[in-house]
Amino acid sequence: MTLNKFNLPDVGEGLTEAEIVSWKVKPGDAVAINDVLCEIETAKSLVELPSPFAGTVTELLVPEGVTIDVGTAIISVSDDVSGDPTPADVRAPEAPAQPLYGKLPASDGGTTGSAQATESALAGGPLVGSGPKADAVKRRPRKASPASALSPNAPEVEPVQPHSPAEVTQSPGQATSPAAAVDNRPTLGGTITGLVNRVLAKPPVRKIARDLGIDLADVVATGSRGEVTREDLVSYQAQRDAELDKADGFWGKAGKPQDQRIERIPVKGVRKATAKAMVDSAFAAPHVSIFVDVDASRTMEFVKRLKSSRDFEGIKVSPLLILAKAVIWAAARNPSVNATWVDNADGTDGAEIQVKHYMNLGIAAATPRGLMVPNIKNAQDLSLKELALALNNLAVTARSGKTKPAEMQGGTLTITNIGALGIDTGTPIINPGEVAIVAFGTIKQKPWVLDGEVIPRWITTLGGSFDHRVVDGDLSARFMADVAAILEEPALLLD
């Protein structure tokens, strides 16, 4: 038997550390190559790690919630495969039909002396449902050992028709399924009840509950299949806070010890990476910021026409799409804003400016995990419709926490849409490795002088920050004026 250890890999260029968020396996599990072992949180995203080995999990070397360096051993897998790791959907046609979660061993009348064999019978039967969900997302099949099925950290299996405790614990004569039949074994009664009564929740929800110190069993579940949702946790936490301190609300009572009135939040993951990047950028690149008010009334009319167009049916269209196209157009007229300042590696003279003849357009996105800046590769080659689809996909992926590290690397110029939060403008900090960023303020009706008359128009304010080592004042002004010109007259994009 060979024991293989899997070290934490670099899942993105330059990754130095990651946190183990949740394990998807447990000692004793049989795994195949590419089965998901665990979920890790890198500096920018959640990533699932597939197994490079086939065999049996012998030990989890790092507990959940611990941050470790790349190259650290996290799990050991022996090449001694317990059971049949062959996925259910690729079994030979002549194989007899098996229950949903594996086959039950031959009955020994409840007299087996091996606890492991007994628990295998438990895991083999369809204790948690009679079949897969009709609308379930297809996942990579893996036959989990009983330890995995009963582990509080194992991935959840959502039941379609779960057995109630009464059904599972009925007398042997009334048993109507393998799950009920195993109740003949008195030593398993508590285990069966624990499995059936286990609270359903997805791994991210479990992590939030763990961080907040919430017992999921105390939370009222409102999910469509009886699972605890993120909203349930928020509601429970609010209620718990109100019960603990109704009078003070957010503020702690004056009579409490000081350490009970201070909330301490570890700086790690996305927040740690964002803090380092912003400090490096703010103190390495001399920022200069300029602002311009823009009459975006024609942009609003253009967006309205796009929304009613059959070509854009089913595609979310917003003024951000026009701004993105405007930034690409203006950068082509002012190439030095789409560049990078590169210092000599040894610190000596010889720095250079690298002007990029392609646009990887970054979009700053506020997500539940913090600020992310994924970028649209080669945005200059996309049509207006293709750019709209790319923006929609980028936003959905970022907010669901599925953005990959590669999608946040190689950006050349960034847009931050602070207007989505109702903010007029701001002084954004340049994304490291770039020399320009544009802040897009909210668009709202204001009095505007047009042809000598004061009339209501849709007005926005653009704010731009530039690395003054690369972009001089006149260049930044010309670039911002070009962006503003497109918002004032989108027809210029036809040139």
Who has greater pLDDT, 142 or 240? 240
Which of residues 214, 246, 264 is at a domain's end?
264
> Do 448 and 425 reside in the same domain of the chain?
yes
pLDDT grade for 235, boundaries at 50, 70 and 90: confident
Most confident by average pLDDT, 91-100, 134-143, 238-247, 438-447: 438-447
Most confident by average pLDDT, 214-218, 301-305, 342-346: 301-305
DSSP-based three-state secondary structure for 19: strand
Could you report the per-residue pLDDT of 82-96, keeping only the tens digit for each? 554 444 344 444 444
Distance, CA of 120 to CA of 28 (rounded, Å): 11
Who has greater pLDDT, 289 or 136? 289
Who has greater pLDDT, 132 or 292? 292
pLDDT at 462 over 60: yes
> Do 320 and 433 reside in the same domain of the chain?
yes
> Do 432 and 310 reside in the same domain of the chain?
yes
> Do 354 and 453 reside in the same domain of the chain?
yes
DSSP-based three-state secondary structure for 342: strand
Using the CB atoms, write b or e for 259-296: b if 16+ within 10 Å: eeeeeeeeeebbeebbeebeeebeeebebebbebebbb
pLDDT of residue 3: 86
490: nearest Cα among 348, 278, 283, 326: 326
Distance, CA of 389 to CA of 194 (rounded, Å): 46
For 449, 451, 457, the CA distances from 454, given in Å and listed in that order, are 4, 8, 9
> Do 275 and 253 reside in the same domain of the chain?
no
Per-residue pLDDT, averaged over 294-310, amounts to 95
Number of structural domains in the chain: 3
Other Cβ atoms closer than 10 A to 197: 12
Per-residue pLDDT, averaged over 394-417, amounts to 88
200: nearest Cα among 178, 232, 170: 232
Could you report the per-residue pLDDT of 277-295, keeping only the tens digit for each? 777 787 778 898 999 999 9
pLDDT at 18 over 90: no
> Do 57 and 131 reside in the same domain of the chain?
yes
Which of residues 264, 293, 310 is at a domain's end?
264
Per-residue pLDDT, averaged over 246-267, amounts to 64
> Do 280 and 239 reside in the same domain of the chain?
no
What is the domain-level CATH number for residue 209? 4.10.320.10
> Do 371 and 254 reside in the same domain of the chain?
no
pLDDT of residue 326: 96
Query: For tokens 């311009």, what's the residue?
Result: 292
Would you say 130 and 99 are in contact if contact means Cβ atoms under 8 Å apart?
no
38: nearest Cα among 69, 63, 13, 4: 63
Six-digit token pair at 324? 């993105």
Which of residues 175, 196, 217 is at a domain's end?
196
pLDDT at 375 over 80: yes
Six-digit token pair at 326? 């405007």
pLDDT of residue 13: 55
pLDDT of residue 347: 56
Q: What is the chain's mean pLDDT, rounded?
A: 76
Active site residues: 468
pLDDT of residue 89: 41
Per-residue pLDDT, averaged over 8-22, amounts to 79
Per-residue pLDDT, averaged over 131-149, amounts to 43
Boundaries of domain holding 300: 270-494
pLDDT at 149 over 70: no
What is the domain-level CATH number for residue 406? 3.30.559.10
> Do 18 and 127 reside in the same domain of the chain?
yes
> Do 90 and 230 reside in the same domain of the chain?
no
> Do 250 and 287 reside in the same domain of the chain?
no
Q: Specify the pTM.
A: 0.53
> Do 376 and 329 reside in the same domain of the chain?
yes
